[in-house]
Amino acid sequence: MPFRKYVEIGRVAFLADGPEKGKIAAIVNVIDQNKVLIDGPTTGVSRQAYALKQMHLTPLKVKFPFDASTKLVRKELTANKVNEKWAESSWAKRLENKAKRANMTDFDRFKLRKAKAQRNRIITVALNQKKKALRKAGKI
């Protein structure tokens, strides 16, 4: 599978570190090999220089010209429904689940453990019933 996530104008990036951690923004301009100019008007990220080491490139991309204004970037991001596409992605869902697990209380973890045990018990009983029926029929 060829590499598809290049540092380019219009590439949407997930900001993994720094003051805007956890948000997405579009690359507007490449400053040098270590920094890019980003803008995320739909997610509350102001136009600023950001280090490439502090972001992860996503497969999402929008089309706008080099050094586009914030108004144009907002228009393209909303027209391409980037926030909805990001929310639907497995990456965003995984981050959301990770945050939920981190915010669980001790009692929440206890309830989860009990619910999983109950689910496993139901599955085991159903499986054993099927095995017993197959043994009686002589198929095992």
pLDDT at 35: 97
pLDDT tens track for 101-134: 999 999 999 999 999 999 999 999 999 999 999 9
pLDDT tens track for 78-95: 999 999 999 999 999 999
Q: Given a cut of 90, is residue 139 above it in pLDDT?
A: no
Phi, psi torsion values for 29, nearest 5 degrees: -155, 150
pLDDT at 62: 96
Q: Which two tokens stand for residue 106?
A: 């001790």
d(CA 116, CA 86): 30
CB neighbour list of residue 79: distance below 8 Å, 6 or more residues apart: none
Q: Given a cut of 90, is residue 4 above it in pLDDT?
A: no
pLDDT tens track for 16-57: 999 999 999 999 999 999 999 999 999 999 999 999 999 999
